[in-house]
Amino acid sequence: MSRQNIERLTTLARRCLENNFVPFHLGFDDITRQQVIERNLVVPDALFSNEGWSRRTKCYCDMRCYSYFHPKEQLFISKRYLFVTCDGHIVDVYGPYSARKSDGAILNGLLKGPGSVLHCFFEVNDIFILDRGFRDSIPLFESHVYVGVMPESKTRGAIQLTAIQANKSRMCTICRWPVEIVNGRLKRDFKIGS
């Protein structure tokens, strides 16, 4: 098969996926807020919710799904941005983004602007469980009255976390486990260029 035929078929397959699959199975238009709330587990509710927040949406954000388009020469390395529910259901995927762009900068770009899809989907006091790469996004989260939860970091000069900090960090890590499972499966099953 010639290179032109392969390129033509690949383009055709991409268009079919974009037109017939993605709009119906991926994105914030595919799933309702109530469905996301129902998909949440008991563990995050027990760990992070007060009684007033018990029915709020919890969503994980992660950037660990990398694609290497040219690994030998390292010309273009990109990463995907995932919104994942507590049970590992992928709500939406954004990207690819340059690997040099920080996780917090990408999330800030998605949150900025009143017309963002995220502001239409999420409500005040919704909880986002983040990793430390999103620490630059916390002020923007607070300005939109969302709650960002991430593992604790040591204070300057401290040798280790206090017992309370360590327990908070463990709670966040327990809740992030489904995200890591999803990323592991994506990397295992879809080895794009790596």
- Flag whether 194 is in a domain: no
Regarding whether 150 and 96 lie in a shared domain, the answer is: yes
The predicted pLDDT at position 49 comes to 59
> Could you tell me the residue range of the domain that residue 1 belongs to?
1-30
Q: Is the pTM of this model over 0.75?
A: no
Residue 194 pLDDT greater than 50, yes or no: no
Sort strands 58-68 and 127-129 into parallel, antiparallel or unpaired. Answer: parallel
Let me know: does 83 contact 65? Beta carbons within 8 Å.
Answer: no
Q: For position 121, what pLDDT does the model report?
A: 81
* Averaged pLDDT of the chain: 75
Does 101 share its domain with 112? yes
Q: What is the pLDDT of residues 33-71, one digit of tens each?
A: 777 777 665 556 666 655 433 333 445 555 444 444 444
Predicted confidence (pLDDT) per residue in 69-117, tens digit: 444 544 456 777 788 877 777 888 887 787 788 888 888 888 886 677 7
C-alpha to C-alpha distance for 140 and 136, rounded to whole angstroms: 8
Which H/E stretch holds residue 90?
strand 90-98
Q: Are residues 162 and 181 in the same domain?
A: yes
Mean pLDDT of 19-36: 77
Instruction: Judge if 35 and 21 occupy the same domain.
Output: no
Q: Quote the pLDDT of residue 48.
A: 60
- Single out the residue of 190, 29, 97, 3 nearest to residue 107, CA to CA: 97
- 88 in the same domain as 22: no
For 21-30, 99-108, 184-193, which range has the lowest pLDDT when averaged over its residues? Answer: 184-193
